[in-house]
Amino acid sequence: MKKIILSFILAAFPFAASFAQDVTGKWKLEDGTAIVEVYRSGDVFNGKIVWLADPTEDDGSPAVDSNNPDKALRSRKLIGLNMLSGLKETGKNEYSGGSIYDPGNGKTYNCSMKVEGDVLKVRGSLDKKGLLGRTMDWFRVK
């Protein structure tokens, strides 16, 4: 009897694992202005800008982080910029404990994420519990 139960458990394992959805890959912001590539670095997940709808400044030069509060960082290019950092897997398809940088206003927020199929729910918040913030939908790029 134990062998039969063990067989069912082992047979179901690959099926159960298929419900875990990979957060790594490219995600397009809901407003279509950028694509962010989420990648794993050790035990944390980060994300960098890999595409911009408007990749240049008015003078034709590459878009830069002009709203950064640190004047020394205002000349860094937006493409390649890490905007997600330090997110750890906290549950099935859930990540938290990291931060998200908004180059549009130069501010950094607490961040959590949840994968729901081909949608990544990204929550930026002022508090660590995520009560004071907003959630954005990012869409997987295939």
Q: Answer whether residue 21 shows pLDDT above 90.
A: no
- Residue 84 located in a structural domain: yes
35: closest CA among 46, 47, 23, 22? 47
Owning domain of residue 32:
23-140
70 lies in some domain:
yes
pLDDT of residue 109: 97
Domain count, the chain: 1
Q: pLDDT tens digits for 43-72? A: 999 999 999 999 999 999 999 999 999 999
Residue 5 forms part of a structural domain: no
16 in a structural domain: no
Cα separation, 39 vs 26, in Å, equals 9
User: Does 10 score more than 90 pLDDT?
Assistant: no
47 domain-assigned: yes
pLDDT digits (tens, 9 = 90+) for 87-141: 999 999 999 999 999 999 999 999 999 999 999 999 999 988 778 999 999 999 9
The verdict on residue 7 lying in a domain is no
User: What integer best gives the mean pLDDT of the chain?
Assistant: 89
9 in a structural domain:
no
Q: What is the CATH number of the domain that holds 87?
A: 2.40.128.520
Instruction: Record the pTM.
Output: 0.83
Segment 34-51 shows an average pLDDT of: 98
- The token pair at 77 is 């290019």
